[in-house]
Structure 1
Amino acid sequence: MEQNNMYSSSVGPLKPPGKFNTLKEMRAPLEWLFSYQNRRKLAHVPRGQGQLVVLVPGYGADEWSMRPLKKFLTGIGYRVFDWGHGRNRGLVTHDTQRLAVTVENLYKKHDQQAVHLIGWSLGGVLSREVARLHPHWVSQIITLGTPLIGGPKYTVVANRYAKSMNMDLDAYEAEIHAINEQGLSQPLTVIYSKSDGIVGWRAALDAYNPQARNLEVSCSHMGMGVSAEVWDIIAHTLADSDVETNDAPG
């Protein structure tokens, strides 16, 4: 498709992960096992001041998958909330609406304080869509291994997901491209790994928004939520955005 060719000229061909990367996802249990050391490793990171953070899990996962990150961010001074809807079953339109309800309720309950959204994989898609539709509720978006281009097309679950949703992958890719072209107003931090075995890493980059920071890490897709490198980026990103907000003229 035309948008693929235009995008591929700068980052290479869009494609799902290779089999070797997918096999390397087997290291994820070890990444989880060693994540208990993260807090000690990251004792130096800047602390928050009670800002609101919502964590959105990936396809097939629930709030438990983001529990280590939640404990870490709570421990450094943020008010962290689950998305509140259990397992992410891939119903993008429906789940975007449900996430929007969660964000709106927090925004209203906490004196119209905008929320920081952190979405893992498909959770990042939901986060970006809520931010696009309701920009005043969302302060910024951080995505972890999120398939930003093509939806599920450049993931290892593409055919299974398309069949379960009765989806034409090419038509959906065009739809996603049109949505992405509308752009986002918030700061964007896009975390990806070239060894991602679930989402093709080129499809996890943001080439649509000039303010987007595409940051590479070294971990598996399933280990992103417990990676010390990822947590360090998140902590500094949240702190930097808070400084910018506080320094902005009233």
Structure 2
Amino acid sequence: MTTATREHISPPSRLLLLAEGRALWETGAGLAMWPLLQLTPRGDGHPVLVLPGLVAGDASTLVLRRYLASRGYDAHGWGLGRNFGPREGVEDGMVTLLRKLHDDSGQKVSLVGWSLGGVYARLLASAHPDLVRGVITLGSPFSGSPRATNAWRVYEGVSGQSSHDPRRMKFVQPTPSVPTTSIFSRTDGVVAWRCSIEKTGPKSENIEVIASHLGLGAHPAVLYALADRLSQPEGGWKPFNRGLLGPLVYPDPDRAN
């Protein structure tokens, strides 16, 4: 996809936005499938920092973090209250926490970011690759027009900043130098899915799921993929094997647009 094409991406339709109500069902499905999700590979105990989406806080990532903890990871919320954008102190607070998790554990930290949290994760990985083991984003708008979402007005209202932020995006848009996975849904009602497409490479990939934007943090297909990706040994990363569960769970992310 060319830069010009990405800049003309439209936000998700009103129908998809209305369909975000299915997030309640998706959360229920994740909880119902909890016993089966315990069959995924266990982690090695390294720290995982989970960053929430716009206007959300650590409560929104509770299911996700408890699942990761059940798989053996040292999962942490960001501890900075609600995510009202990169206001004063937020970026410094994330860096301080990232350094603390790294120093306390003696291990690199995996970053999992939901929506705007994924934008932060890529920013952190770009600035501090020596502290970061890998990045996984969930429905994050890291490319394309800043207004190709149904949340840009909310962002500008709560952050007091323009959604057009070339200073930060020049660090966010390039693929981080660490293993990077973008999990996205073409039925996302908040973020245009084309803005979540990563350029695939030796250490970067896309995983497509069929989910709402608000349900990504507890959707069983997302939890399975997270456990699989985080279990990759440091220095031994391999692409996700979507064939294990088939196209009804993980459609081909590279199929024709």
Check 1:151–1:115 CA distance in 2 against 1; reply closer, same or farther (3 A cut): farther
Give the aligned partner of residue 211 of structure 2.
219
Letter of the structure 1 residue corresponding to residue 129 of structure 2 = P
Structure 1 residue 91, shift from structure 2 partner: 2.0
Unaligned runs of 5+ in 1: 246-250
Partners of 2:50 and 2:61 within 8 A in 1: yes
1:139 maps to 2:138:
no
1:32 maps to 2:31:
no
CA distance in 1, matches of 2:87, 2:141: 13
1:46 maps to 2:41:
yes
Unaligned runs of 5+ in 2: 238-257
Check 1:6–1:198 CA distance in 2 against 1; reply closer, same or farther (3 A cut): closer
1:162 maps to 2:156:
yes
**Among 110, 114, 134, the residue aligned to 1:120:** 114
> What value does the CA root-mean-square deviation take over the aligned residues?
2.4
Which deviates more, 53-62 or 233-242?
Answer: 233-242
Give the aligned partner of residue 96 of structure 2.
101
Letter of the structure 2 residue corresponding to residue 4 of structure 1 = T
CA distance in 2, matches of 1:195, 1:6: 20
Structure 1 residue 158, shift from structure 2 partner: 1.7
Give the aligned partner of residue 198 of structure 1.
190
Which deviates more, 196-205 or 13-22?
Answer: 13-22
CA distance in 1, matches of 2:52, 2:205: 21
Q: In structure 2, the residue corresponding to 1:55 is in which secondary structure? A: strand
Structure 1 residue 28, shift from structure 2 partner: 1.1
Structure 1 residue 34, shift from structure 2 partner: 2.8
TM-score in terms of structure 1 length: 0.85
Structure 1 residue 38, shift from structure 2 partner: 2.8
CA distance in 2, matches of 1:22, 1:212: 29
Letter of the structure 1 residue corresponding to residue 33 of structure 2 = N
Q: In structure 2, the residue corresponding to 1:129 is in which secondary structure? A: helix
Provide, for residues 127-164 of structure 1, a one-character-per-residue CA deviation record: whole Å limited to 9, x for no partner. 11111111111100000000111474211022343355
How many positions carry a matched residue from both structures? Answer: 237
Q: In structure 2, the residue corresponding to 1:223 is in which secondary structure? A: coil
Structure 1 residue 207, shift from structure 2 partner: 3.0
Identity across the alignment (%): 31
Structure 1 residue 72, shift from structure 2 partner: 0.9
For 1:33-112, what aligned pairs fall within 5 Å after superposition?
33-91=28-86, 94-111=89-106
Give the aligned partner of residue 248 of structure 1.
none
